[in-house]
Structure 1
Amino acid sequence: MSGRVIFSQLSRKFVDENENTPDQAQQVVYYSLAIGHHLGIIDCLQAALVCPLEAWPAWVATLPAGEAQRKMTGVTRFGEIVVDQSHVTLLATALDAALPQQTPQQQNWSRELMRLLRTIQQEPAVYLMVRRQDD
């Protein structure tokens, strides 16, 4: 199995961020970003974490059996998955539980993914596109 799995993070928005924006208006901004692809808006994604494809199954296998592991296996099954705010707690909990039995390299990937999940938690418009890239 040759290739890699790339976690790309939303890196740029097409909305001028104003810290004085009322909460209700901010929700309109988030909604606009969420439906933007229907309006011809392109999300700018930037690679944030790369894992060799041959190492992917072993890393995912360290996660406790259940929904988080099923979510992550979607990369090999479907070629890509989206990780958004609705997945943060699920994945962070599973990654944290898996750390003790992971190799040092797997722990590095898990810690970096947990950092990316914290970013999503702090900014609801941020998400990750996780894609398998075959060589």
Structure 2
Amino acid sequence: MNRIVFHALGRKFLQREEDMPADDGARQVIYQTLALGHHIGVIDCLQTLLSCPEDGYAAWLATLPEGEARRKLAGVLRFGEIMIDASHAALLALSLARGRDAMSEEQRGWSDALMRELAAMDAEPALYLMVKRHED
């Protein structure tokens, strides 16, 4: 059975400690550069945030209102992978809140986990999620 897995940024580290700038502004430039996908010797460590069966994921999406947020999340079913960053946080949070009444208890748990991560992204824009379909 295929699974949809949300991977969250757990931590970042440099290949060499002396590569990390002391200035906080410079650190933010490094984090933002990584968020854009450039590689400058910093390694992202991703951890599993949420894992659900593909058919359960599709049913969860069906509880969301039609629109851009639902299309964004459905991208993993079509392309096998999507990235969620701070630019998607408000849109996805609103859609999850609007669909909540139609969700099962399990789906609400998935929504709660995702909502916590979306709130963290709102506070720290360098955070992101990689959502992938893992095929058996």
**Normalising to structure 1: TM-score of the pair?**
0.86
Matches within 5 A, 1:91-102: 91-102=92-103
Gaps in structure 2 of 5+ consecutive residues: 15-19
Deviation at residue 14 of structure 1 after TM alignment: 2.0
2:11 corresponds to: 12
Matches within 5 A, 1:1-135: 2-14=1-13, 21=24, 24-35=25-36, 37-135=38-136
Letter in 1 for 2:82: I
SS in 2 for 1:39: coil
Contact 1:10 1:44 in 2 (8 A): yes
Deviation at residue 13 of structure 1 after TM alignment: 1.2
Contact 1:30 1:124 in 2 (8 A): no
Deviation at residue 31 of structure 1 after TM alignment: 2.6
Contact 2:93 2:115 in 1 (8 A): yes
**Normalising to structure 2: TM-score of the pair?**
0.86
CA distance in 2, matches of 1:51, 1:106: 9
Gaps in structure 1 of 5+ consecutive residues: none
Letter in 1 for 2:125: P
CA distance in 1, matches of 2:122, 2:99: 20
CA deviations 1:66-85 (Å, max 9, x no partner) are 00000011010000100000
* C-alpha distance 76-36 of structure 1, shift in aligned 2 (>3 A): closer
Percent of paired sites with the same residue: 50
CA deviations 1:75-105 (Å, max 9, x no partner) are 1000010000000000000000111111111
CA distance in 2, matches of 1:14, 1:7: 21
CA RMSD of aligned residues (A): 2.1
Contact 1:36 1:42 in 2 (8 A): no
CA distance in 2, matches of 1:134, 1:116: 24
Contact 1:59 1:102 in 2 (8 A): yes
Aligned length in residues: 131
